[in-house]
């Protein structure tokens, strides 16, 4: 067998495969002999049918099947031998015709296109500058944190009449065009926080509500975006997009939160008994907490943004035409040209990030150890249970971690988390990063862009 490579451009190449009779004859003959041994034809004993009859019926499909196997095996061996770093798999060349006679087989010629992985340069140079946004801990931020502590430790009471900062608990019922309950429509028990209601007319409509009152509302005007509305009504993101109905909202309860006073009792609840004894020292502690919290938030958001910005900065070239063909050929459901063009940039950036990770791992001889996997499993599981006020530790946490790691898919997921963290840690010292102070509102906008 002969395989020749010709570069089409820097990142794609054509492999021409010439398959000779010596490459396939013995394999085809062995299979046909096995077919003959098990064949049953009228007029012949089992396994005694003439070979010519077997060839006539099976030779061509057997040859085609074996040819596919031979080519796949030889292409894999060739790629490994030549140490070619390819993307995806070889795909048949559309611009080159194959040659060979399946009825009278001799030499066959096939052409395949391969996409080559680009070279990743980890020497980014002085131009690789990135910004890490950090929230300013100013008087406004401290006041907001103090208010939050007062609310968190406040008291909830039942009310007869809703004020504009109260919480309404009730039942949503989807209505038809005539304003009647829609048969088979959406129903959900949920709540409306008047304090955070942005639509002024709706907030005014619901202020003063009493238990048992019913209101017709536009669900989009009582929610904060599609995700919030989906949770409010218990429906999918797709259903939210198509939702045009009004709803009846029947008030079941009116709740009011009365914030805790800013006094010694609050300070003890937040920080511990007698840690501080004045509002000034309490605010100083709150400031310390905010610095630590904001720094964690800044690092979390920066790491997400850093990956995107670094990929954009590197301008890694990809064999785009090849990859689009490969995606089309390997996708379970056919993609329209419009779908492919829309989804391809995200796919290409994801592949660029994978290539960058591989380059860093190779350069740093990076590995994920069993101990690291176990520690990560404990961290993830511990955090999950802590959310519900159920701290796990000791032998119970160890057992939960071991059970989690017994699942191969979960092991891979945790390994990916560790690898990404290590890769980002390795990349950060290679570039220039400067902190920039922003207010909370601007930071929230930056955070929303990377989620």
Give Dmax (Cα) for the chain. Answer: 107
- Span between the terminal Cα atoms of the chain, in Å: 51
Section 277-294 average pLDDT: 94
Q: What percent of the chain has pLDDT over 90?
A: 74
State residue 98's pLDDT score.
Answer: 63
State residue 389's pLDDT score.
Answer: 66
Angstrom distance (rounded) from CA 164 to CA 195: 6
pLDDT at 75 over 70: yes
Size of the chain in residues? 451
Angstrom distance (rounded) from CA 433 to CA 132: 7
**Reported confidence tier of residue 8, pLDDT bands at 50, 70, 90:** very high
Of the two residues 186 and 41, the one the predictor is more confident about is 186
In 3D, which of 158, 154, 155 has the Cα closest to residue 210? 158
**Reported confidence tier of residue 104, pLDDT bands at 50, 70, 90:** confident
Q: The tokens 């092991």 sit on which residue? A: 411
Please give the model's pTM, rounded to 2 decimal places: 0.69
Q: Degrees (nearest 5) of the Cα angle 366, 368, 373? A: 160
**Reported confidence tier of residue 244, pLDDT bands at 50, 70, 90:** very high
**Reported confidence tier of residue 332, pLDDT bands at 50, 70, 90:** confident
When the pLDDT of each residue in the chain is averaged and rounded to a whole number, the result is: 91
Angstrom distance (rounded) from CA 439 to CA 177: 45
pLDDT at 47 over 90: no
3-class SS of residue 372: helix
In 3D, which of 207, 214, 220 has the Cα closest to residue 246? 220
Section 305-324 average pLDDT: 93
pLDDT at 95 over 70: no
Side-chain half-sphere exposure of 450, counting CA atoms within 13 A: 18
State residue 18's pLDDT score.
Answer: 93
Domains of the chain: 2-116 (3.30.70.1050), 155-258 (3.10.50.30), 266-450 (1.10.3120)
Angstrom distance (rounded) from CA 133 to CA 437: 6
Section 123-150 average pLDDT: 91
Q: Is beta strand 108-116 parallel, antiparallel or unpaired with respect to 86-92? A: antiparallel
State residue 225's pLDDT score.
Answer: 86
Both tokens of 286, joined, read: 């709150």
Both tokens of 188, joined, read: 């959900």
State residue 96's pLDDT score.
Answer: 60
- Span 252-262, pLDDT tens digits: 999 999 999 99
Both tokens of 13, joined, read: 């190449």
Angstrom distance (rounded) from CA 98 to CA 71: 13
Q: Give buried/exposed letters for 24-42 (b at 16+ CB in 10 A, else e).
A: beebbeebbeebbeebeee
């Amino acid at each position: 067998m002969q395989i020749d490579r010709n570069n089409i451009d820097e990142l794609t190449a054509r492999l021409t495969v010439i398959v000779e009779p010596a490459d396939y004859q013995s394999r085809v003959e062995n299979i046909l002999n096995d077919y003959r041994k098990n064949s049953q034809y009228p007029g012949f004993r089992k396994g005694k049918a003439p070979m010519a009859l077997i060839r006539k019926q099976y030779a061509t499909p057997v040859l085609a099947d074996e040819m596919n196997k031979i080519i796949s095996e030889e292409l894999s061996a060739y790629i490994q031998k030549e140490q070619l770093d390819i993307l995806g798999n070889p795909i048949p060349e559309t611009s080159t015709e194959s040659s060979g006679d399946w009825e009278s087989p001799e030499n066959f010629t096939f052409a395949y296109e391969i996409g080559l992985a680009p070279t990743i340069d980890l020497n980014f140079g002085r131009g690789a500058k990135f910004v890490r946004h950090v929230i300013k801990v100013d008087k406004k931020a401290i006041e907001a944190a103090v208010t939050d502590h007062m609310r968190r430790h406040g008291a909830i009471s039942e009310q007869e009449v809703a004020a504009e900062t109260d919480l309404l608990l009730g039942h949503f019922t989807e209505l038809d065009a005539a304003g009647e309950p829609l048969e088979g429509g959406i129903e959900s028990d949920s709540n409306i926080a008047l304090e955070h209601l942005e639509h002024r007319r709706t907030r005014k409509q619901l202020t003063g509500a009493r238990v048992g009152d019913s209101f017709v509302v536009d669900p989009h005007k009582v929610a904060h975006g599609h995700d919030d509305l989906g949770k409010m009504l218990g429906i999918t993101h797709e259903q939210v997009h198509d939702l045009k109905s009004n709803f009846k909202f029947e008030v079941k309860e009116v709740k009011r939160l009365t914030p805790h006073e800013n006094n010694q009792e609050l300070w003890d609840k937040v920080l511990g008994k007698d840690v501080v004894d004045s509002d000034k020292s309490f605010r100083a502690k709150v400031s310390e907490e905010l610095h630590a919290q904001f720094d964690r938030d800044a690092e979390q958001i920066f790491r997400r943004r850093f990956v995107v910005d670094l990929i954009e900065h590197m301008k890694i070239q990809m064999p785009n035409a090849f990859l689009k063909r490969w995606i089309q050929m390997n996708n379970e459901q056919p993609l329209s040209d419009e779908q492919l063009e829309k989804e391809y940039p995200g796919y290409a950036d994801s592949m660029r990030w994978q290539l960058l990770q591989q380059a860093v791992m190779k350069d740093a001889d990076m590995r994920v150890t069993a101990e690291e996997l176990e520690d990560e499993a404990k961290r993830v599981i511990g955090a999950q249970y802590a959310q519900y006020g159920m701290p796990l530790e000791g032998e119970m946490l160890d057992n939960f971690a071991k059970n989690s790691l017994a699942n191969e898919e979960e092991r891979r997921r945790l390994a990916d988390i560790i690898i990404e963290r290590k890769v980002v840690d390795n990349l950060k010292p290679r570039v220039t990063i400067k902190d920039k102070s922003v207010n909370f509102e601007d930071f929230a906008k930056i955070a929303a862009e990377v989620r």
